[in-house]
Amino acid sequence: MFLEILSKLTSESLLSLYPVFVKHIGLPLALQTWSRCFSYAIISAIFIDYSYVFNALKTSSGILLSLITIVHIYVSYRGFELLESGVAYSIFYLYPILILLMSNKQLNPIILLAIPGVYLLVSNEQFNLVNIIDSPEGFIMMLLAAITEAIMYYLVRDIKTTNHWNHIFISYFIGAIILSLYFFKNISTTILKGPLSISLGINTIIGLFGYLLRFYSISKLETTLYAALSYFGILMATVYGILINGEQIQLKKIIGSLLIMVSSYLVTISY
């Protein structure tokens, strides 16, 4: 169990670097989406079981995972672009709760404490509804991001394989093909220079192994434990904000961290 928990915590630590990356890379969302799909598909293709993947891509779960992954990447990037970070993260981190609801498990209300904790951690503004009202598109995008994240969890569990490179390839192969064809002209003129090449490198080094560990933990951890540990990602995003962006340690961040840790711990030990 220790290895499974460590893989989940490590994956969240790696993937929580994505918000910093998306914010500072200076690349259009569409090309960021392409670089993610392309790098994941190309590298994972080295390690997959081709016969298994070929059959899995013809199943309903395989097709849905491929298509929903494309949607998930775009709506999450778009939502983070449109909404103030505290609101965006608070909506997105509904996904562990959605995972529990979809599993038909009785929802422990204590986990709801994590949502105000998320907001306190990442918000730079006083709470108000203006940001959501001014950007209903942003609200819808982040809600879709949370829903698709939860659905992807169950699709990955449904595709049974001990080689989790297979999961990565199935998730990103179709997106890599479609977006490579659509953005061929843009890619061919910028592939070896500027922010696009940086995007490819970061996706390969950070995101790829983050998702490999996440898919491993999905297949190994009990649903409730997986959902509770998912909030570790937002804690690490705050740590990166302090270390990389020079953000100040504030009382509200301490309170937010405590709310998340307490809720996650109590939910975990209650099952």
Token pair for residue 245?
């962006």
- 132-175 pLDDT, tens digit each: 556 688 889 999 999 999 999 999 999 999 999 999 999 999 99
The rounded distance, in Å, linking the Cα atoms of 114 and 178 is: 37
Q: What is the pTM of this model?
A: 0.86
Q: Residues 175, 57: contact at Cβ < 8 Å?
A: no
- Could you give the C-alpha distances from 56 to 3, 168, 179, 194, 235, in angstroms and in order? 27, 12, 21, 36, 35
Q: Classify 164 as helix, strand or coil.
A: helix
Dihedral of the alpha carbons of 225, 230, 231, 232, in degrees to the nearest 10: 100
Q: Residues 219, 3: contact at Cβ < 8 Å?
A: no
- 40-84 pLDDT, tens digit each: 899 999 999 999 999 999 999 999 999 999 999 889 888 887 877
Question: CB under 8 Å to 246, separation ≥6 — which residues?
Answer: none
Q: Domain coordinates of the chain in residue numbers?
A: 2-269
Of 121-135, 177-191, 220-234, which range is least confident? 121-135
Q: How many helices (H) and strands (E) does the chain have?
A: 17, 0
* pLDDT of 196 higher than 60: no
Crossing angle of the two packed helices 114-122 and 85-92, in degrees rounded to 10: 150
Alpha helices in 46-129 (DSSP H): 50-56, 60-82, 85-92, 95-102, 114-122
Cα-to-chain-centroid distance, residue 132? 21
The rounded distance, in Å, linking the Cα atoms of 218 and 227 is: 10
Q: Residues 107, 101: contact at Cβ < 8 Å?
A: yes
Question: CB under 8 Å to 179, separation ≥6 — which residues?
Answer: 30, 33, 34, 37, 38, 70
